[in-house]
Amino acid sequence: MSAHTPPRAVSRWQKLAWSATVPVGLAGAFAASALAARARAYCDAAWEPPHRLVHLVEFVVLSGVTVAAALGAAVLARRLSLRASRPARASAQLVAVLTVVLLLSWAYLAVQGTPAGYPGDSGLCPASNVPPWWPAWVPV
């Protein structure tokens, strides 16, 4: 006879951590994309109809990459914290997901947020196309 070990019960914290992974990833991708779109529209730089389509494709790709990275971070954090208590495992998972989503959003905004050198027509931004309200903690 083989000894069958019953599956571990999933705590409320773990359910929350797993169910929050995809929405947190999508929310981070949407926030980064919306901030980049607002900056481009404000400066009227790379906001013509063909560029809006490119921006939509960037959003879809960013969403996929962010959600996949968030799921990967959740799995990795879960594996690294197996010996910890259930709330600690779930907290590690949520912290890992939030960290990955914030880093990817920050990187996207640093690279694609403000298209430098693109001729903006609004006259509201300098040649760097960085709006005056752009967050200082995001590099341009």
CA atoms of 121 and 28, how far apart (whole Å): 29
**The predicted structure's pLDDT at residue 3:** 59
- Residue 24 is predicted with a pLDDT of 92
| Spatial separation of the C-alpha atoms in residues 40 and 91, rounded to whole Å | 36
Per-residue pLDDT in tens (0 to 9) along the chain, 140 residues: 555 655 566 677 777 778 888 999 999 999 999 998 888 888 888 777 777 888 889 899 999 999 999 999 999 998 998 888 888 888 888 899 999 999 999 999 888 887 777 777 778 888 788 888 988 888 77
Q: Is the pTM of this model over 0.85?
A: no
Question: Kind and range of the H or E element at 63?
Answer: helix 49-80
pLDDT at 114: 79
Residue 82: its pLDDT value, please? Answer: 86
